[in-house]
Amino acid sequence: MNDSSWGAPSGPGYAGPSGQGPAHGPTGQGPARGQGPGHGQGPSYGQAPSYGQGPSYGQGAVYGQGHPYDQGRPPAGPAYEGQAVEETRPMPIVPDMPDVPAGGGDGEQDADRGAARVSGPLYRDDPVPQPPQEPLPASSPQQPQRPQQPQSSHTQAPQSSSRRAEPPKAKKSAGRDLGAAIGVGVGLGVVIIASLFVVKAVFVGVIAVAVVVGLWELTSRLQERKSIKAPLVPLAIGGAAMVVAGYVRGAEGAWVAMALTALAVLVWRMTEPPEGYLKDVTAGVFAAFYVPFLATFVAMMLTADDGAWRVLTFLILTVVSDTGAYAVGWRFGKNKLAPRISPGKTREGLVGAVAFAMVAGVLCMEFLVDDGAWWQGLVLGVCVAASATLGDLGESMIKRDLGIKDMGTLLPGHGGIMDRLDSLLPTAPVVWLLLVLFVGS
């Protein structure tokens, strides 16, 4: 390259620090860019060092050597050969400035621009030095740091043992207050037995009261859950009359009272708007048959000469069947009997109900019922276990449809009256019929 390239000035050139050749200065200020020696051999832009004012390849010179502004300053960075020089303070990162022609611009601005370039990287590919990052104090709100202190073995031992400890196994529960249930059951048994063997008419009154309360519970739940308004007044009056008619006139009187009660329900409902008439009277007739008519067979058993013992046999077999189903099912029950209707009942419980009822049937027919035989007790026990289970499932079906657990809360530990009559009502006509067939009326 000759001296006339890159815009040679009219004045003399400026020799670089290495003394290898004259550089071509700008317009009266200094050598032009590129006219002097290679990297690091002469300053460019007049007063400020050029990109190459650092060391040349192998010469070891530092930035700003030979420039008056850099005299007495410490080296701006390590030499190209990688000599380690301690950095006293981090320098700001300044982006590269565009090139300007030689001799252009003010000399002071060029000097500042050149000084800014000294702190940058030597080449574009060189990594940019980053200032050292000081760790934030522990009390900084951005990143709170809590020192983790090692826990002693005294505090770790209980935690580790608690983690390894297995949770206690849940005990089987009956789902009710067993003590309250036993107490209420014993109290009801005393009232029933006392009225049964003292004055039969008092026992008929107990049946009528139970029927009326059961009708009230059933109609109340129907209205609350299904908006079905079965008329309670004709049902209560007709139900009580039905029980008395069955005791006085037998089966014929019970059927007549049942028909009159159904007619009274139809007429009573006519006093209200016709909307929902069909479902209301249908529910009323169903309630009249389900509660008072089935209960009438208990009063009809009482009319026999040994009627009190027949009723006691009926009560004992039903209670023993329920108790056997509960005891065996709670202890050994695994296979569900009707999971969609009553998930608590199992096949093992049904076997227990049949076994307990058969034993009780043999004892009752031998010692309580006149002219009874032991084999009749076996048949009676099987039929009672079946009817009691079906009656319990039937009321469970009704409660499932209504979305309730109990029909009422009158009896602690039992629910309502209907929750105790569920297995008794369907069993009453079965026992009455079998006793009539076995020993007469």
Q: Assess contact for 353 and 388: CB atoms under 8 A.
A: yes
Nearest of 297, 209, 288 to residue 251 by alpha carbon: 297
Instruction: Please list the residues that pair with 342 across neighbouring strands.
Output: 338
* 416 CB-near residues (< 8 Å, 6+ apart): 213, 214, 217, 406, 407, 408, 409, 410
**Which pLDDT value is given to residue 104?**
44
Q: What phi-psi label fits residue 160: left (phi over 0), alpha (psi between -120 and 50 degrees) or beta?
A: alpha
Angle between helical axes of 294-301 and 424-439 (0-180°, round to 10) = 40
Q: Assess contact for 415 and 214: CB atoms under 8 A.
A: no
**Which pLDDT value is given to residue 168?**
56
pLDDT digits (tens, 9 = 90+) for 288-327: 999 999 999 999 999 999 999 999 999 999 999 999 999 9
Q: What is the pTM (predicted TM-score) of this model?
A: 0.61
3-state helix, strand, coil split of the chain in percent (to 5) is: 55, 5, 45
Residues in the chain: 441
**Which pLDDT value is given to residue 69?**
47
pLDDT digits (tens, 9 = 90+) for 364-402: 999 999 889 999 999 999 999 999 999 999 999 999 999
pLDDT digits (tens, 9 = 90+) for 199-258: 888 999 999 999 999 999 999 999 999 999 999 999 999 999 999 999 999 999 999 999
**Which pLDDT value is given to residue 23?**
40
Where are the alpha helices (H) located in 199-273, listed in sequence order? 200-226, 232-269
DSSP 77-138: S--TT------SSPPPP-PPPPP--TT-S-HHHHHHHHHHHHTS-SSTTSPPPPPPPPPPPT
The answer, yes or no, to whether residue 153 has pLDDT greater than 60, is: no
**Which pLDDT value is given to residue 42?**
42
pLDDT band at 177 (very low <50, low <70, confident <90, very high): low
Spell out the SS3 assignment of 334-389.
Answer: CCEEECCCEEEEEHHHHHHHHHHHHHHHHHHHHHCCCCCCHHHHHHHHHHHHHHHH
pLDDT higher at 47 or 168: 168
* 415 CB-near residues (< 8 Å, 6+ apart): 405, 406, 407, 408, 409
**Which pLDDT value is given to residue 12?**
43
pLDDT digits (tens, 9 = 90+) for 31-53: 444 344 444 344 444 344 444 44
Mean pLDDT (the chain) is 74
The answer, yes or no, to whether residue 68 has pLDDT greater than 90, is: no
Please tell me the distance from the alpha carbon of residue 22 to that of residue 268, in angstroms, as a whole number.
130
**Which pLDDT value is given to residue 166?**
56
**Which pLDDT value is given to residue 115?**
42
Please tell me the distance from the alpha carbon of residue 81 to that of residue 87, in angstroms, as a whole number.
17
Please tell me the distance from the alpha carbon of residue 104 to that of residue 271, in angstroms, as a whole number.
113
What's phi and psi for 191, nearest 5 deg? -65, -45
pLDDT higher at 190 or 217: 217
pLDDT higher at 411 or 309: 309
pLDDT digits (tens, 9 = 90+) for 1-10: 444 444 444 4
The answer, yes or no, to whether residue 124 has pLDDT greater than 50, is: no
The answer, yes or no, to whether residue 350 has pLDDT greater than 80, is: yes
Radius of gyration of the chain (CA): 54
pLDDT higher at 175 or 293: 293
The answer, yes or no, to whether residue 164 has pLDDT greater than 90, is: no
DSSP 235-252: HHHHHHHHHHHHHHHHHH
Token pair listed for 72: 């007495």
The mean pLDDT value for 174-191 works out to: 73
**Which pLDDT value is given to residue 307?**
92
DSSP letter at 14 equals E
Please tell me the distance from the alpha carbon of residue 143 to that of residue 154, in angstroms, as a whole number.
31
**Which pLDDT value is given to residue 441?**
78
Token pair listed for 311: 């009723």
CB count, 10 Å around CB of 40?
28
Beta 336-338 vs 22-23: how paired, if at all? unpaired
Return the residue matching tokens 């479902």: 279
**Which pLDDT value is given to residue 172?**
54
pLDDT higher at 356 or 156: 356
The answer, yes or no, to whether residue 117 has pLDDT greater than 60, is: no
Strand, helix or coil for residue 23: strand
Quick one: what percent of the chain has pLDDT higher than 70?
59
Nearest of 180, 196, 208 to residue 314 by alpha carbon: 196
**Which pLDDT value is given to residue 368?**
93
Instruction: Please list the residues that pair with 336 across neighbouring strands.
Output: 346
**Which pLDDT value is given to residue 125?**
45
Please tell me the distance from the alpha carbon of residue 182 to that of residue 199, in angstroms, as a whole number.
26
Find how far residue 124's CA is from the centre of its chain: 61
Angle between helical axes of 200-226 and 277-288 (0-180°, round to 10) = 150
